[in-house]
Amino acid sequence: MSTTTPDIQEINFNTDAATRDNVLITSLDKVLNWTRRSSVWPMTFGLACCAIEMMATGASNYDIDRFGSGPFRATPRQADLMIVAGTVSLKMAPRVKLLFEQMPEPKYVIAMGACTVSGGPYIKYGYHVLKGVDRLIPVDVYIPGCPPRPEALLEGLFRIQEKMKFERILDRERKNLKPALFVD
Ligand code: SF4
List the domains of the chain with CATH numbers. 41-182 (3.40.50.12280)
Distance (angstroms) between ligand 1 centre and the Cα of 6 equals 39
Segments in the chain below pLDDT 50 = 1-4, 178-182, 184
Q: Tens digits of per-residue pLDDT, 44-85?
A: 989 999 999 999 999 999 999 999 898 899 999 999 999 999
Q: Which residues line ligand 1 (CB under 6 A)?
A: 48-50, 86-87, 113-115, 120-121, 146-147
**Ligand 1: nearest atom to the Cα of 145:** 1
Burial (Cβ within 10 Å: 0-12, 13-18, ≥19) of residue 3: exposed
**Nearest Cα residue to atom 8 of ligand 1:** 49
H/E element holding 108?
Answer: strand 108-112
> Best substitution site from 52, 146, 149, 183 to test ligand 1's pocket, by max atoms within 8 Å of Cβ?
146
Output the pTM of the full model. Answer: 0.86
Q: What is the pLDDT of residue 167?
A: 84
Distance (angstroms) between ligand 1 centre and the Cα of 28 equals 41
Q: What is the pLDDT of residue 171?
A: 67
Whole-number Cα distances in Å, 34 to 27, 97, 111: 11, 28, 24
Q: What is the pLDDT of residue 2?
A: 42
Q: What is the pLDDT of residue 122?
A: 94
